[in-house]
Amino acid sequence: MKNPLLFSGLAAIIALHGTAVSAAKPDTDKEKFSYAIGFQIGQGFKRDNLEIDTKTMSQAINDVLNDKTPQLSAPEMRAAMEAAQQKLLAARAAVGEKAKAAGEAYLAANKKKKDVVTRDSGLQYKVISAGKGKQPTAESSITAHYKGTLIDGREFDSSYSRNQPATFNVNQVIPGWKEVLPLMHEGDKWQVFIPSELAYGERGSGNAIGPNETLIFEIELLKVN
């Protein structure tokens, strides 16, 4: 059974060598490579919130590399993997439910603000400054500056911080952007509030955007290309 969440940090695990953890800085090419592989695996474990007994994991690696008899049978290992996967899925579902409820409450309160426009889809926007340029269509390419945050204010992306506006096609972005961009004119700067179902939904996006997160974007439409 393939478990993408569980295996995301395990892709290169068999490349690890050594029996003990050392506090010394890696020096040789072999040590540096081993550390780099281990670091990537650790990042995967942390990203997926996996609870790992590193001592036991190290023993399993050494058993494989030294051709020792496995301490668990194949069915036992498969059952352990599946149990961990189910635990991960349940935890992710709980996080998603909490985020969805928080997002709905935020949007309900935001809807009452006088400068906020709420569309039938649930998407909301507020005009910060108005431009008079042309409007994009679903087939347009546009150039824009933007900043994205969660409802608690945590920033997950910003073209401003990179000092480089982004250029992309309107039909290649999340549904919330597809809906709002054709409403804007060149020169407009809007704050846009996107319900989770018009953003990344249950799947989320990477480490920064969890399942069912409501997103807030500041969008400055610079040019319709």
Same domain, 218 and 143: yes
156 is catalytic: yes
Phi, psi of 22 (to 5 degrees): -115, 140
Same domain, 126 and 215: yes
Same domain, 134 and 210: yes
pLDDT at 101: 98
- Domain termination residue (choose one: 40, 71, 102): 71
Same domain, 66 and 136: no
Of residues 33, 35, 156, 160, which has the active-site annotation? 156
29 is catalytic: no
Same domain, 50 and 126: no
The two beta strands, 215-224 and 189-194, are antiparallel
Q: Which residues touch 84 (CB under 8 Å, ≥6 apart)?
A: 3, 6, 50
Of residues 41, 125, 142, 157, which has the active-site annotation? 157
pLDDT at 20: 44
Same domain, 123 and 178: yes
Same domain, 59 and 124: no
200 is catalytic: yes
Per-residue confidence in pLDDT tens, the chain, 225 aa? 444 444 444 444 444 444 444 568 998 999 999 999 999 988 888 877 788 899 999 999 999 999 999 999 999 999 999 999 899 889 889 999 999 999 999 999 999 999 999 999 999 999 999 999 999 999 999 999 999 999 999 999 999 999 999 999 999 999 999 999 999 999 999 999 999 999 999 999 988 999 999 999 999 999 999
Let me know if residue 66 belongs to a domain.
Answer: yes
Same domain, 212 and 122: yes
188 is catalytic: no
Same domain, 133 and 190: yes
Q: In total, how many domains does the chain have?
A: 2
Let me know if residue 85 belongs to a domain.
Answer: no
pTM: 0.73
Of residues 200, 209, 216, 219, which has the active-site annotation? 200
Closest CA to 186 of 106, 145, 131: 131
- Domain termination residue (choose one: 71, 92, 125): 71
204 within 8 A of 100, measured Cβ to Cβ? no
Let me know if residue 99 belongs to a domain.
Answer: no
Let me know if residue 107 belongs to a domain.
Answer: no
DSSP class per residue in 133-184: SPPP-TT-EEEEEEEEEETTS-EEEEHHHHT--EEEEGGGS-HHHHHHGGG-
Let me know if residue 201 belongs to a domain.
Answer: yes
Of residues 48, 194, 217, 219, which has the active-site annotation? 217
Of residues 45, 125, 146, 193, which has the active-site annotation? 146
Let me know if residue 171 belongs to a domain.
Answer: yes
pLDDT at 46: 83
39 is catalytic: no
Let me know if residue 184 belongs to a domain.
Answer: yes
Look up the domain containing 36 and give its range: 4-71
